[in-house]
């Protein structure tokens, strides 16, 4: 009975969150274990000063898309990023290089970070899909 209540509570919270999020962020999902975990560490977001500039892959950076920067993963790789604090996850496409800040494993676009509840720096798991 307790597990059923917990599941219902999580589902209710998730559906409530989707109702208030813009459509571009509605892809965020509760924590799932899918894909091969490749890294655990800190994530940050970048955006305002980079919006519209070319990324390392050659495309224009759009802070409203679900994209991210990673030091070594090939461009176009899709990864699931899970916020360890909130349990929310989002699938992002790697289109840039970084992060360059010490101790960070991934830089998320603003939309990606908002989708999983990161407002500055957060602890995440990155899983390749």
CATH of the domain at 57: 2.40.40.10
Residue of higher predicted confidence among 10 and 125: 125
CA-wise closest residue to 37 among 84, 76, 69, 75: 84
| Number of structural domains the chain divides into | 1
pLDDT interval class at 2 (50, 70, 90)? low
Close Cβ partners of 101 (under 8 Å, ≥ 6 residues apart):
44
Residues 25-81 have pLDDT tens digits of: 434 444 454 678 889 999 999 877 899 899 999 999 999 999 999 999 999 999 999
pLDDT interval class at 17 (50, 70, 90): very low
pLDDT at 9: 52
| Domain housing 57 | 2-128
**How far is it, in rounded angstroms, from Cα 87 to Cα 32?**
8
Tens of pLDDT, residue by residue over 90-127, are 999 999 999 988 889 999 999 999 999 999 999 999 99
The pTM assigned to this predicted structure is: 0.72
Per-residue pLDDT for 11 more than 80? no
């Amino acid at each position: 009975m307790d597990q059923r209540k917990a599941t219902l509570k999580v589902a209710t919270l998730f559906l409530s969150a989707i109702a208030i999020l813009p459509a571009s962020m509605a892809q965020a999902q509760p924590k799932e274990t899918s894909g091969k975990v490749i890294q655990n560490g800190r994530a940050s977001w970048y955006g305002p000063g980079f919006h519209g500039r070319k990324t390392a892959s050659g495309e224009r950076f759009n802070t409203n898309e679900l994209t991210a920067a990673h030091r070594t993963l090939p461009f176009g790789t899709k990864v699931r990023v899970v916020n360890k604090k909130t349990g929310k996850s989002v699938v992002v496409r790697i289109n840039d290089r970084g992060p360059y800040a010490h101790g960070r494993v991934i830089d998320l676009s603003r939309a990606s970070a908002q989708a999983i509840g990161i407002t500055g720096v957060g602890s995440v798991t990155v899983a390749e899909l």
